Amino acid sequence: MAKILFLDESGDHSLSIIDPQFSVFVLCGVIMDEEYHRNIATEKLDAFKMGLLGNREIILHTADFTRNKSGFEAMSNHEFRTDFFNALQDVIRGLEFRIVACVIKKEHHLQKYGLNALDPYLLSLSVVVERFIFECGSAGGTIVAEARNPTLNNALDLAFLDLKIRGTTFISATKIQRRIHNFAIRQKKDNIAGLQIADVVATPIGRHAMGKTTYPTLLRSGRFFPRCETQVPEGLGREDRGKGTRNTS
């Protein structure tokens, strides 16, 4: 069955500006079977939004629901906020998907490579595409990335084209061409379930890499990341307490 890799990021890919509160860049990929995403995953996410927000058109975006804006104004109420995060965690736990992510510790990356340091987004893209190809096998799949601004979208298109021409350290260009059937950049407003799930899990992965918990005072379990860990495929990349989450300095 054909698979889809949904890509979203957390943190700034710039190496000239490093936020000490979030000094990593995360490219998070959520892998789902195409039919499962189109039917079950989309329906479950819609039901979650209808049940708590009364509107399936609201886009799950971490920057919005943590700042109580763009349809998440009710998050200013502590009881509602607690219910929201626990229900969100239940959704993540109940959906069938896999995570493959690359975390770039930007300060370490700069210290190690200096002026030769690669752009974190482009470096992460090659790592995540490699692992998606290992995961989807000969059936291949599609990659859907969330749009940024036009300049960055063009850079992303060129980066993927470069992968198709040059390949990666472990995957030949020919294999990438055969296995990746389509590469698309879609807007957040398109309300794509897979992109929203990638958005939700990307920040907890970054915080975990920095030794921080996520929503600890709001969740019954005390932390969000273990619900993400259970979705990460075995044996994909170097471990950082979550199999398949590659931690690149």
pLDDT in tens, the chain (249 residues): 789 999 999 998 889 889 999 999 999 999 999 999 999 999 999 999 999 999 999 999 999 999 999 999 999 999 999 999 999 989 998 999 999 999 999 999 999 999 999 989 989 999 999 999 999 989 999 999 999 889 989 989 999 999 999 999 899 999 999 999 999 999 999 999 999 999 999 999 998 888 888 887 777 766 676 656 555 554 433 333 233 444 544
Picking from 190, 200, 187, the residue whose alpha carbon sits closest to that of residue 60 is 200
Report pLDDT for 33.
96
Report pLDDT for 232.
54
* CA 188 vs CA 38, 84, 179: distances in Å: 17, 21, 26
Spatial separation of the C-alpha atoms in residues 224 and 214, rounded to whole Å? 6
Rg (CA), the chain: 18
Report pLDDT for 238.
35
pTM across the whole model:
0.89
Greatest Cα pair distance, the chain, in angstroms, is: 53
The tokens describing 167, both together, are: 């390949």
Spatial separation of the C-alpha atoms in residues 111 and 45, rounded to whole Å? 41
Compute the 3-state secondary structure of the chain and give helix, strand, coil in percent, each to the nearest 5.
50, 15, 35
Picking from 57, 44, 59, 237, the residue whose alpha carbon sits closest to that of residue 132 is 237
